A and B are shown apart, each in its own frame.
Chain A
């Protein structure tokens, strides 16, 4: 079904984009800096897995710290900045009015990034909290809450002050992410850092928080871009869209409950893992509707859609695999192995990063009013990055499967297992290198594209066609 044209002729580069250009470019530029840093750290951490002696004399880069630094730079550096940039842009455009409170956004961005930087230094010096996904030291956490609220403010204002009364799926997802993250972060801090709960309750809270990062924050931001760009580029109505609200609420309602799968078989009451298994199955409904809605992506072409196609496939696959491995029968073999790292790579690189890349490729020309500097770099980035993700996910899955088998067989000494899975781990390291190289191509292309020194290469009316005019001629 083709979307019918409206009478309003709105330019593809709207005043909304021009007005928000500075603030959003700041968010995107900082996100890319963190992306490269986390890539370097990921490479170091990956090498340390098969060659434990690598950098062993640097106390600030023990494997545990390198891993914590990588994770923090990725989540709070790259994903937070990029996701906020994309989210604000989406609600701004869909709302149809100029974004307000952008000076708050800029100030918030500066302080957020300073906070993350201070946190990384703190982790390197030995102040990490050792809570997964919340490794940032206690002293930067309140700053982050305030800075995030300042950045997100303009997004919530843009949504509530929108020009048309109707709302669209992208808006729900962005508003959910913008609005819920400060609550998530505050709640997580309270019970784990400021007034820590006793014993394993901390581990339960940490699992809930880590799952919340996915279900309440990053997954919604990534999906918002996909929901927006797919109909825009293909011009088609999303099939089964009437189920999109249910899918949205299923993700939010059931998503948080899947936390306990990180603790299966552990020192927590059995019901926590059982509830997680059930919630994991329920969330599959979300993935199914998402697949039905966005299947029109298969028919489109273009850079953004190529990324989004792979990202959505990874997103759905990760949902299905997470549901499967949470069952105790499977977890007996795969829990505590590299299979978990493989799923993380699939979810965070395969789904989140790739969907963000798709959104950025679509969004940047609208922000700058110019095309990307190089088409070849875009293709290079896509090919290399997808190769890297596939390589990392497949090799870590193989490593995890083998490792799980050796661990289950009580006779193989633990010290021998590493030697037996060194091959796949080497491939995983190579994949991290490929991903890093791919992302450097994006960084080069990005800075070439936004550089004011760039000579205007676009033809005078601007690089964009007028969407509604095209529609009129097509019919």
Chain B
């Protein structure tokens, strides 16, 4: 460590090797990940974000929603995500390929939102989300700055929040969501991990290889033991 060029080169190598391994390595593997075309549905998944949803994701990012909400469903059997109705399958890399700034998050003080629009038993409606954003709850702040209170001129706006009782604005006034709130809610309602990609299916465990016996098609061999079958599906995908 006395020789300056050698030492500095060693330092740079240490940084570069981990960079190459983790960042470039995963980029080489997943950088060209394409949407999945489903023959049955004659559609590609995931869907592209609509313009307003993409804007909404930026609002989500800049407000820092990710500091309390995650957007990554864990696989059934690992955590309680499935029991909570957050999703029946693990989120996979392909779910995020159209997102400009994926918001995986790191703390679950609030619920996971990755699959909000397909949540079970029932997904929230736009109105519920608007009310939560405006009124808040004991566990969620009220973001009044995303709304505008204004005098009703002529007809009541279609977008005005249906508020009653204590929360209602003064007579002749209405609460309307700003463009930020509207795009945020559109974004939240576009979050959907319902389509099951091949790589997102729960892997059968070695102990009970293959699908349950009663469901296995008669003449197809058990998949775990059939390399030919594997090739066939690979080929069909391409």
* Chain A contact residues, CB within 8 Å of chain B: 48-49, 52-53, 56-57, 59, 62-65, 67-68, 126-130, 132, 159-160, 165-167, 172, 175-176, 179-180, 183-184, 187, 191, 196-205, 207-208, 212, 216, 245, 249, 252-253, 255-257, 259-260, 262-263, 265-269, 272, 275, 328, 332, 336-338, 340-341, 403, 407-411, 414-415, 417-419
Contacts and interface: CB of A to CB of B under 8 A. Distances in A.
Interface string B29-68: 1110100000000000000000000000000011111111
A417 to B, nearest CB: 8
Given A204-B23, A256-B15, A260-B22, A414 B63 contact: no
Given A63-B68, A63-B141, A255 B4 contact: no
B109 A418 contact: yes
Contacts of B173: none
B236 interface: no
Interface of B: 1-2, 4, 7-8, 10-12, 14-15, 17-19, 21-23, 26-27, 29-31, 33, 61-68, 70, 72, 74-75, 78-80, 82-84, 90-111, 136-145
B80 A408 contact: yes
A267 B12 contact: no
* A interface majority secondary structure: helix
A256 B96 contact: no
Contact of B145 (A57, A197, A259, A409): A57
Contacts of A411: 83
Contacts of B27: 191, 197, 201
B80 A208 contact: no
A415 B139 contact: yes
Nearest to B91: A267
Given A62-B141, A128-B64, A202-B102, A180 B11 contact: yes
B136 A52 contact: yes
Contact of A257 (B21, B75, B80, B102): B21
B70 A414 contact: no
A443 B93 CA distance: 47
B62 A198 contact: no
B26 A272 contact: yes
A200 B143 contact: no
A228 to B, nearest CB: 16
B141 A52 contact: yes
* B interface majority secondary structure: loop
A208 B63 CA distance: 24
A409 B79 CA distance: 8
Contacts of A197: 23, 27, 31
B141 A53 contact: yes
A64 B67 contact: yes
Contact of B108 (A59, A129, A130, A337): A337
A53 B64 CA distance: 16
B64 A257 contact: no
Contacts of A200: 30, 93, 96, 102, 104
B12 A180 contact: yes
Contacts of B84: 410, 414
B65 A332 contact: no
Given A199-B97, A252-B11, A56 B80 contact: no
Nearest 6 pairs between A and B by C-beta?
A64-B64, A256-B18, A410-B83, A199-B96, A410-B80, A130-B61
A176 B9 CA distance: 10
Nearest to A52: B141
A187 B23 CA distance: 10
Contacts of B1: 167, 172, 245
Nearest to A421: B109
A277 to B, nearest CB: 13
Given A199-B96, A268-B26, A269-B26, A337 B31 contact: no
A308 to B, nearest CB: 23
Given A256-B19, A260-B22, A267-B91, A48 B141 contact: yes
Given A160-B4, A180-B11, A130 B78 contact: no
A64 to B, nearest CB: 1
Contacts of B109: 49, 417-418
B113 to A, nearest CB: 11
A340 B111 contact: no
Contact of B102 (A203, A262, A338): A203
Output the residue of B31, B93, B97, B100 with the most chain A CB within 10 A. Answer: B93
A332 B11 CA distance: 35
Contact of A340 (B23, B106, B142): B106
Contacts of A159: 4
Contacts of A245: 1
Contacts of A249: 10, 14
A399 B216 CA distance: 46
B62 A256 contact: no
A61 to B, nearest CB: 10
Contacts of A187: 15, 19, 23
A104 B2 CA distance: 25
Contacts of B139: 52, 415, 418-419
A161 to B, nearest CB: 10
Contact of B14 (A64, A129, A253): A253
B93 A130 contact: no
B15 A67 contact: no
Given A64-B66, A180-B12, A336 B95 contact: no
A339 to B, nearest CB: 10
Nearest to B30: A201
Contacts of B62: 65, 126-128, 130
B79 A167 contact: no
Contacts of A415: 137-139
Contacts of A263: 104
Nearest to B101: A130
A336 B70 contact: yes
B141 A201 contact: no
B145 A179 contact: no
A414 B111 contact: yes
Contacts of B64: 62-65, 67-68, 128, 130
